[in-house]
Chains A and B, each alone.
Chain A
Amino acid sequence: MPADLDHAGRPLIVVTGMGMVTSLGIGQQDNWRKLTAGESGIRPITRFATDGLRTRIAGAVDFIAVEPLCAPELTERFATLAGEEAVAQAGIGAKGDFPGPLFLAMPPVELEWPQRRELALAAHKASPDERIGYDAALRQCSTAPFRGYHERFQFFAVADHLADRLGTKGSPISLTTACASGATAIQLGVEAIRRGETEAALCIGADGSIYAESLIRFSLLSALSTQNDPASEAAKPFSKNRDGFVMAEGAGALVLESYAHAKARGARILGVLSGSGEMADSFHRTRSSPDGKPIIGCIRQAIADAGLTPDDIDYVNAHGTGTPENDKMEYVGAAAVFGERVQSLPTSSTKSMIGHTLSAAGAIEAVVTLMTLANQRIAPTINYQVPDPAIPLDVVPNVARDVKMRHAISNSFGFGGQNVSLVLSPEPA
């Protein structure tokens, strides 16, 4: 078969540009250096008052300032930084003229308390004797200080602004599949190229939603680690003493391209997106099916989609959130797919260092997985001090390791039964 088609005769899909922002820093190189050094980006939250909260730490990207400070503004900024890095590395199109569609994974956005407070104060000023609530606040909404909130808090606006800036084509897709969102954005790009609709796609996962209420909502579900001190040791995926995930922010971006198109323009190939798998779980809103069937099916589908077998996989970039439930179920799934080999198959969690970047995680971790293959070095699972005997995985504990690898898999599992796995590979010889 021609080298630019995959095992199923579809266009082979390669990655020619990548970008990332996390709490560790901006850009692939800075992040890779810190990830392989086992550095943590988790620290006390300074963005808002954390008095009275059970969790007071996060992997916030707190070295980038935006105005007004709110999730859509942060998300847009992170997505722009990662997207521009990826497009520049790909050297595709002209500046501000990307030759394909945009698929953006982002958090749902809504008015936040700082804005509600401003409205309440304005309403009180206008009507001092009235008890202020939505009715009084509604009368202030169309006045000058607040008019910009319509656009800022439309779901479509982040992608709309990105499309303007990067010059992507057509109607941009904004999507959410909870913690699998970043991987779903990549799947949509893969599918569009396989359909022959486009030769290139820009896939971004971005999340800047660390604000008081979002933290509290996760906290009320008991999903977050409460080990506030020291912050850098809170994210402990696969450890026996793991006690939840750590909220985090960032963005990951990938330029996907058909191999034929990339070769024709002499692009450097960073890796191959060789397969994707997906299976929804109908068991529960926040918990995985106890038999692990959807996770198992998802991983198997991804490997089959790549035309590989489980024995071909040399590395797993785990979803690895550090919640008691996720890590156990991820092990159950992996053990079913990989058999006894699971105990010696390197399986690390990037989230041990950068936390759970939510809508961005699937994209950031795909970038990390491709860098892992390119460098033949696995960044560790840090904070692994107390192994969990129920999860006998080789988690690449605490220090980076050089390993010879060809194919890797990156897992993303989310609330609402969302499961997506991606298989990543080197350029065909």
Chain B
Amino acid sequence: MTSSRDIWITGIGIVSSLGEGPEAHLAALDAGTVNVDTAAFAPYVIHPLAPVDFDKQIPKKGDQRQMEAWQRLGVHAAGLALDSAGVKGQADILSRMDMIVAATGGERDIAVDDSIMADLATGAADDKTLNERLMTDLRPTLFLAQLPNLLAGNISIVHGVTGSSRTFMGEEAAGVDAVRLAHAKIAAGQSEIALVGGSYNAARKDMLMLYEFGSFNLKDRFAPVWERGPEGGLALGSMGAFLVLESAAHATARGATPFAKLANVASDRNRRKAGDIESTLRALWQRIAPNLRPDHAAIVSGATGAEPATAAEHAVLRDTGLPVRATGSRVGHGFETQFPLNIALAALALRSGKLFAPANGSPGEAAMPGPLTQALVTSVGHWRGEGLALVERIEGGAAHAG
């Protein structure tokens, strides 16, 4: 049944280690492709970004220069999403489009940091020297590439999205809550069309450092997330993912074809005591997925590979009996971007009517021959960030132009 306040996914812009765009992703997922680099940041394992022609979405070189890699990736993915929704360049729509970006921390100048750390280590630099080095060595514009809200700022500048602009911070939880709030605003009539998503650059030693403090990084050898064992870890994955969400009424009025329906999104928080993840996930499940058709439903999981969160999620998902696909085994982990990316992948699978193939070497991921009409998208962040979404197939909506 369709209601005018149904929320449709009408635009998808995705880039990852598997390539760019819906077709590249579905093909790679079905072929079992994994693009992993165990050498560049050894012993840490990362999923590097596939080649991207940024000129296609960010035509001005001057704009590209004003951004660091994570921002270019995000602005590019946002442009793909706007193109896919058929709203690129439509000033009347873009000027009232609401934007929620789930942003990561800004990039550092690794060479400057390395050089200063070398002097600090030997005592060659005191506080005064540190100040002088920072005053001379930091590029003034690096600050702007550091500010999380400048991903949204650059999307406004490059693509003209200016209705509203909010940037959430908070790793996995930020990605879930960005999608949840965009959905809630449209459902309540506070918005008709929204751009929501994020981007993550995995090729960053400062990010490896942040997660190495908690021993979260996957080292030495790649394995699918369910098979990493009690000492497992997460492999950072470069990715950009943006969705255009839209009320069914607004989409229909402009003749847009949806990929899928975003039926519901929920999130919560717990302190991660033993059993907390399981009870939160089960409660979210009750809230948003009471009417599943088990033979037509599957789970797209955001499991990170880090423990104990991954094992706890696995236990809950196993009990549902539904086929599961953990995208962390395919594209790595991109924190705030994982959830929007997984919503996109779920929507693409729903549009195609079938779930993509299981990960190689992941015996827990069962094949699913039958038709797919409902997908649950999970988030159990590496440290915090529980969320769940229900995405549904729209019958007759398969003929998307984008």
B267: Cβ under 8 A from any A Cβ: yes
Smallest Cβ-Cβ distance to A294: which chain B residue: B162
Does A132 contact B118, Cβ atoms closer than 8 Å? yes
Does B387 contact A171, Cβ atoms closer than 8 Å? yes
Stretch at the interface among A81-89, A282-290, A340-348: A282-290
Q: Which of A154, A177, A218, A280 contacts B162 (CB 8 A)?
A: A280
Residues facing B in A173-193 (CB within 8 A) are 173-178, 184, 188, 191
Q: Cα distance A196–B187 when bound, in Å? A: 12
A132-B117, A216-B134, A220-B140 are contacts. A280–B171 as well, Cβ < 8 Å? no
Does B121 contact A123, Cβ atoms closer than 8 Å? yes
- Could you tell me the distance in whole angstroms from the C-beta of A420 to the nearest C-beta in chain B? 9
B81: Cβ under 8 A from any A Cβ: no
Does A415 contact B120, Cβ atoms closer than 8 Å? no
- Could you tell me the distance in whole angstroms from the C-beta of A96 to the nearest C-beta in chain B? 13
Does A280 contact B165, Cβ atoms closer than 8 Å? yes
Smallest Cβ-Cβ distance to A213: which chain B residue: B134
Stretch at the interface among A157-165, A245-253, A262-270, A373-381: A157-165
Does A156 contact B121, Cβ atoms closer than 8 Å? no
Q: Which of A120, A154, A170, A417 contacts B267 (CB 8 A)?
A: A170
A142-B212, A282-B160 are contacts. A106–B169 as well, Cβ < 8 Å? yes
B56: Cβ under 8 A from any A Cβ: no
Q: Which of A134, A163, A188, A213 contacts B269 (CB 8 A)?
A: A163
Interface centre among B135, B149, B177, B185 (most CB of A within 10 A): B149
Q: Write the B128-144 contact mask toward A (1 if CB under 8 angstroms, else 0).
A: 10111011001010111
Does B167 contact A177, Cβ atoms closer than 8 Å? yes
Interface centre among B160, B171, B173, B181 (most CB of A within 10 A): B173
A34: Cβ under 8 A from any B Cβ: no
Residues facing A in B197-249 (CB within 8 A) are 205-206, 208-216
Q: Which of B66, B214, B386 contacts A147 (CB 8 A)?
A: B214
Q: Which of B152, B157, B269 contacts A172 (CB 8 A)?
A: B269
Q: Cα distance A242–B237 when bound, in Å? A: 46
Q: How many B residues face the partner with a CB closer than 8 A?
A: 79
Does B135 contact A138, Cβ atoms closer than 8 Å? no
Does A221 contact B383, Cβ atoms closer than 8 Å? no
- Chain B residues within 8 Å of A221, by CB: 140, 143
Does A282 contact B156, Cβ atoms closer than 8 Å? yes
- Could you tell me the distance in whole angstroms from the C-beta of A114 to the nearest C-beta in chain B? 10
Stretch at the interface among A12-20, A23-31, A44-52, A199-207: A44-52
Does A111 contact B209, Cβ atoms closer than 8 Å? yes
- Chain B residues within 8 Å of A197, by CB: 184
A93: Cβ under 8 A from any B Cβ: no
Q: Cα distance A48–B393 when bound, in Å? A: 57
B346: Cβ under 8 A from any A Cβ: no
Does A121 contact B188, Cβ atoms closer than 8 Å? no
Does A108 contact B213, Cβ atoms closer than 8 Å? no
Does A416 contact B176, Cβ atoms closer than 8 Å? no
A-B contact count (CB 8 A): 251
B148: Cβ under 8 A from any A Cβ: yes
- Chain A residues within 8 Å of B169, by CB: 106, 108, 155-156, 174-176
Q: Which of B121, B157, B210 contacts A417 (CB 8 A)?
A: B157
Does B271 contact A164, Cβ atoms closer than 8 Å? yes
B153: Cβ under 8 A from any A Cβ: yes
Does A191 contact B190, Cβ atoms closer than 8 Å? yes
B150: Cβ under 8 A from any A Cβ: yes
Residues facing A in B255-289 (CB within 8 A) are 267-269, 271
Does A134 contact B117, Cβ atoms closer than 8 Å? yes
- Chain A residues within 8 Å of B142, by CB: 217
- Could you tell me the distance in whole angstroms from the C-beta of B163 to the nearest C-beta in chain A? 7
Q: Cα distance A52–B130 when bound, in Å? A: 10
- Chain B residues within 8 Å of A159, by CB: 170
Does A416 contact B170, Cβ atoms closer than 8 Å? no
Q: Which of A154, A212, A284, A415 contacts B134 (CB 8 A)?
A: A212
B341: Cβ under 8 A from any A Cβ: no
Q: Write the A40-63 contact mask toward B (1 if CB under 8 angstroms, else 0).
A: 000000001111111000000000
- Chain A residues within 8 Å of B118, by CB: 120, 131-133
B293: Cβ under 8 A from any A Cβ: no
- Could you tell me the distance in whole angstroms from the C-beta of B92 to the nearest C-beta in chain A? 14
Given contacts A133-B115, A135-B205, A279-B162, 12 further A-B contacts (CB under 8 A): A134-B117, A142-B215, A153-B213, A155-B170, A170-B269, A174-B169, A174-B170, A176-B147, A176-B148, A195-B190, A278-B164, A285-B66
- Listed A/B pairs (24) with beta-carbon separation below 8 Å: A109-B105, A113-B130, A121-B120, A133-B114, A148-B213, A150-B216, A150-B383, A154-B384, A155-B171, A156-B171, A156-B173, A164-B271, A170-B269, A171-B173, A171-B267, A194-B188, A280-B161, A280-B164, A280-B165, A281-B156, A285-B150, A294-B162, A416-B152, A418-B165
Interface residues of A (CB under 8 A from B): 48-54, 106, 108-111, 113, 116-117, 119-121, 123-124, 131-135, 137-138, 141-142, 146-151, 153-156, 159-160, 163-164, 170-178, 184, 188, 191, 194-197, 212-213, 216-221, 278-286, 294, 414-418
Interface residues of B (CB under 8 A from A): 66, 99, 103, 105-106, 108, 110, 113-118, 120-122, 127-128, 130-132, 134-135, 138, 140, 142-144, 146-150, 152-154, 156-157, 160-171, 173-174, 176-177, 181, 184-185, 188, 190, 205-206, 208-216, 267-269, 271, 383-387
Pairs A-B, 6 closest by C-beta atoms: A416-B153, A150-B214, A133-B114, A132-B121, A49-B127, A124-B121
